[in-house]
Amino acid sequence: MPRAVKFSRYGGPEVLEIAQVPRPVPGPGEVLVRVAVAPVNPGEAGIRQGVFADMWPAAFPEGQGNDFAGWVADLGTGVADFSVGDEVIGYLPRAAQADYVVSPARLLTLKPSDISFETAAPLSAVGVTAWAAVNAVGVGATDTVVVSAAAGGVGSLAAQLARLRGATVIGTAGPDNADFLRSLDVIPVQHGPGLTDRLRAAAPGGIDAFIDTFGQGNVDAAIALGVAPHRINTIADGRAVARYGVRHEAQEDAFSPQVVAELASLVAKGLLVVPISRIYPLEQVQDAYRHVQQRHTRGKIVLSLVAEEERAALAQQLRAEAPAGAPDIL
């Protein structure tokens, strides 16, 4: 039977289990996707721990994972834009870490054939979040922009998107990530005590915008450096939003298949790099979350639900098993 990551009580990674579940059936306007890769995100750990229970209460047994990439396995009636075997990118809150998911067709994006599932899967979450943050602070070609935790999943993409707009980008990170940031044409500055002074030294002409992906005082530093609140965006410090009136735009403010397609096109053209720190098999989902909760990951951690050497055969099998004829159009 198909597998899905589930948890039946709030807690740490130890509450996660891999359950056997029925294969879902797509309804009208829906697509069944055989998932190849599903990323692991820090916010998902907070949901599992009950941190956001007031906002997003769990319906036990609760699923987990938001973003995914895989193959179209079946079509509901009325779906004309996809075919069985198509490679797609999607976003399905608290359900993505499963062998099969059902998604509204309107929320899926075709994956370019020349980028990997590992690279594509994070685009609908951290990619769109980075896109939203860069737009929120209005990055322009003459700006100097700071991105906190610039080697992380959102940070590394936000830094690159700001560079693509022509901005000078300073990225805060640990010393082990300095060379990585330089490879992205980002100026590395070490995080930690004394950060404000180091940022002043790195940007003697001043800082125009600040994208905070980590919290822990980064917005305070931005304010101390004279950055206008409307040019600060945080995805990690709700108290700073209330205190200073800074922006807090994230994935839900920018998601659309069109944005995901634009990000995928940048990756396919070699203009955007999605760093993958580690790939875990689905069976090691607990270890994957222990890893991501350390909050010192370069790029993304992802779960592989189909081994790379099995993917070509699986895609061929899906196409061979596809029902003849087009689905009924509503």
* The dihedral sign for the CA sequence 61, 35, 288, 179: negative
The answer on pLDDT for 26 being more than 60 is: yes
Split at pLDDT 50, 70, 90, the class of 133 is very high
What is 143-194 written as a DSSP string?
Answer: -EEEETTTTBHHHHHHHHHHHHTT-EEEEEE-GGGHHHHHHTT-EEEE-STT
More confident site: 297 or 171:
171
| Residue 295 confidence (pLDDT) | 77
Pick the range with the lowest mean pLDDT from 120-124, 165-169, 265-269, 326-330: 326-330
Which residues touch 191 (CB under 8 Å, ≥6 apart)?
A: 148, 149, 172, 173, 174, 214
Which residues touch 314 (CB under 8 Å, ≥6 apart)?
A: 34, 71, 306
AA identity, residue 307: A
The answer on pLDDT for 55 being more than 80 is: yes
Determine the Cα–Cα distance for residues 77 and 327; give it in Å rounded to an integer.
Answer: 5
Q: Could you read off the pLDDT of 295-305 as tens digits, one per residue? A: 778 999 999 99
Q: Which CATH architecture has domain 138-246?
A: 3-Layer(aba) Sandwich (3.40)
Report the CATH number of the 3-123+274-321 domain.
3.90.180.10
Q: Could you read off the pLDDT of 172-221 as tens digits, one per residue? A: 999 999 999 999 999 999 999 999 999 999 999 999 999 999 999 999 99
Q: Which residues pair with 289 in a beta bridge?
A: none
Calculate what percentage of the chain has a pLDDT beyond 70. 98
More confident site: 293 or 98:
98
Q: Could you read off the pLDDT of 267-322 as tens digits, one per residue? A: 999 999 999 999 999 999 999 999 998 877 899 999 999 999 999 999 999 999 88
Determine the Cα–Cα distance for residues 94 and 98; give it in Å rounded to an integer.
Answer: 10
Residue 34 in contact with residue 100, Cβ under 8 Å? yes
Which residue pairs, CB below 8 angstroms and at least 24 apart, start in 14-20?
14/286, 15/48, 16/48, 16/64, 16/285, 16/286, 16/289, 18/282, 18/283, 18/285, 19/61
The answer on pLDDT for 324 being more than 70 is: no
Which residues touch 92 (CB under 8 Å, ≥6 apart)?
A: 66, 68, 101, 103, 107
293's tokens? 């909760």
Q: What residue segments make up the domains of the chain, in order of their start?
A: 3-123+274-321, 138-246
Determine the Cα–Cα distance for residues 38 and 42; give it in Å rounded to an integer.
Answer: 13
| Residue 139 confidence (pLDDT) | 98
- Name which of 56, 49, 123, 53 is nearest 88 in CA terms: 123
Determine the Cα–Cα distance for residues 261 and 89; give it in Å rounded to an integer.
Answer: 9
| Residue 48 confidence (pLDDT) | 94
| Residue 15 confidence (pLDDT) | 98
Q: Do β-strands 62-63 and 3-7 pair in parallel, antiparallel, or remain unpaired?
A: antiparallel
Could you give phi then psi for residue 95, rounded to 5 degrees? -155, -10
In the predicted model, what is the mean pLDDT of the chain?
Answer: 95
Which residues touch 265 (CB under 8 Å, ≥6 apart)?
A: 112
The answer on pLDDT for 327 being more than 60 is: no
